[in-house]
Amino acid sequence: MRISLNRFAPVISSDEAADNIFQLISGSLSKDEEIVLDFSEIRIISTKCAKRIFGQLYGILGAEAFFSRIIFENASENIRPSLNDGIESFLSDNNE
Amino acid sequence: MSRDIAICLPDKVDVNFIMTFIRKMNAFYQYDNAQLPGFFLRFTNVKRIDILGVLLLYKFLEYSIIRNCFINPTTIDIKVINPQIKEFGFESLIASCYTDSKKMEEEYGKLQSRVTNKFLVSPISIFKGLVDRDAIERKCFNSISMFYGTGNVSDMILMVISELIGNFYSHSEDDSRSIIVAYGTNDYVEIACADSGKGIIESLKPYVDSRDNLMIMKKAFQKGVSSKPGTDHMGYGLWMLDEAVKRNGGRMIAYSQDVYYERLGTKVCVIPTPFWRGTVVYLKLFTRMPVAVKDIIPVTSFSKIHYR
């Protein structure tokens, strides 16, 4: 399953956008397959949104499935630090 | 018998003399619901006003309307700075402050971005009751991309504006009526945001181990310090702005209550100031040295994420 995030471009920073993205992804979780998230037109994502989206997702999937099934495609060098820190912050808050 | 009350504005109402301006204008705070007749604001001496000056001028006028400070206030010689007020897109909004609060409300909602081949002006109202955050950001981002394209400079400005809007929007309350305004040229961009809400210091006070306002203000710019602990907020907003300015060699000032924070490149000063009810943040960033998220947030060794 491939999900384009282009409709949220260029910046993902609001709770509403984060919740819409989470809904999009979580709607595809029932099939036991990879979920490829295409960030090609996203220029900025806030750490808060990264935490909100992917923290919830991690909570549902668990570590193994999250890291193996969720693929981040075309995430620029500007996006990756926010994704890393957002997810790490969630793990740290939850003692993972 | 009533007597006239006059405030004569100084010759420079800009970022370098903003404390003088606030000191003069915060006389307004003593007139809550006073409904005083015979008030006038004299602009005769004003030679220069910048985006921060225009923004704070509007906020003081708005305050006086909402708090019923005066009856039929008037201005003298506002025409001397009208061209500058117009350039920043505030002409109708400021003029409306001398009609009635309904008209002011209308004009607040009608602020418009403008892009020419030389500069961009983007005043946007940030008010939860008016429009959602995505719509506010889209208005700003469209004009920034139109002027600066899609390269590193544009990314830096998007990052900074997004953090600012996020900060002000999340603290936006019915009476805070935030405005963000950006003024950009090929060499630099200035961004100013102000509200009349709770302010950085009051918001943070319950969550830091200090009662000293200067100390609280310093802490507000540290990584991980948040007024919303235990939520998705990570306390990155003001820290990222501060880091961006430091690395860019730019300038940032922040006002909250009675504290003034200034960063000029690598130097910081935090001092007591005349009172401002709410928060003000002003940034100036140079386009010759764009700063990106990856320059601020170090790439960690956290490598489990599957990038492709």
For B68, phi then psi, to 5°, come to: 50, 50
| B183 and B121 Cβ atoms separated by less than 8 Å | yes
Architecture, CATH, for domain B1-110? 2-Layer Sandwich (3.30)
What tens digit of pLDDT does each residue of B168-178 get?
Answer: 877 766 555 78
Region B68-77 average pLDDT: 90
Residue B2 is classified by DSSP as -
* Nearest-CB residue to B234 (from A47, A74, A77): A47
What are the chain A neighbours of B166 within 8 Å (beta carbons)?
13-14, 46, 48
Residue B137 host element (H or E)? helix B133-148
- Interface contact A17-B293, CB threshold 8 A: no
B216 by Cβ neighbours in 10 Å (0-12 / 13-18 / 19+) ranks as buried
- Indicate if the alpha-carbon torsion angle B205, B211, B215, B217 is positive or negative: positive
| Omega before residue A10 within 30° of 0, cis | yes
Residue B201 Cα distances to B41, B230, B254, angstroms: 30, 19, 11
Distance from C-alpha of B16 to C-alpha of B1, rounded to nearest angstrom:
39
Residues of B in Cβ contact (< 8 Å) with A55: 232
Q: Which residue has the tokens 């501060």?
A: B242
> If you average pLDDT over residues B106-125, what whole number do you get?
81
Nearest to B108 by CA among B204, B214, B40, B181: B181
Average pLDDT over residues B84-110: 86
- Phi and psi at B280, nearest 5°, equal -130, 135
| A40 CA to centre of own chain | 14
- Average pLDDT of chain B is 88
Q: Which pTM does this prediction carry?
A: 0.91
Higher pLDDT, B66 or B221: B221
CB contact under 8 A, A44 and B155: yes
What is this model's ipTM? 0.90
User: Which residues of A fall within a CB distance of 8 Å from B292?
Assistant: 77-78
- Answer whether B306 sits within 8 Å of A70, measured CB to CB: yes
- Name the segment(s) of chain B with CATH classification 3.30.565.10: 113-296
pLDDT digits (tens, 9 = 90+) for B256-280: 999 999 999 999 999 999 888 889 9
Residue B72, pLDDT above cutoff 90: no
Q: Where are the domains of chain A?
A: 2-93
* Cα(B43)–Cα(B28) distance, integer angstroms: 16
What pairing do the DSSP bridges indicate for beta strands A2-4 and A35-38? parallel
B113-296 — its CATH code?
3.30.565.10
Whole-Å CA distances, B147 to B116, B164, B244: 8, 20, 20
Phi and psi torsions of B48, nearest 5°: -145, 135
The answer for B249, left when phi > 0, alpha when psi is -120 to 50, beta otherwise, is: left
Tell me how close the Cα of B218 comes to any Cα of chain A, in angstroms.
22
- Span A11-48, pLDDT tens digits: 999 999 999 999 999 998 888 899 999 999 999 999 99
- Split at pLDDT 50, 70, 90, the class of B1 is very low
What confidence tens digit (pLDDT) does each residue in B183-220 have?
999 999 999 999 888 889 988 999 888 889 999 999 99
**If one looks up domain A2-93 in CATH, what number appears?**
3.30.750
- Under 8 Å between Cβ of B136 and B123: no
Domain with CATH 3.30.750 in chain B: 1-110
DSSP string, B191-244: EEEEE-SS-HHHHHGGGSS---HHHHHHHHTSTT--SSTTSS--S-HHHHHHHH
Query: Percent of chain A, pLDDT > 90?
Result: 78
Q: How far is it, in rounded angstroms, from Cα B192 to Cα B283?
A: 6
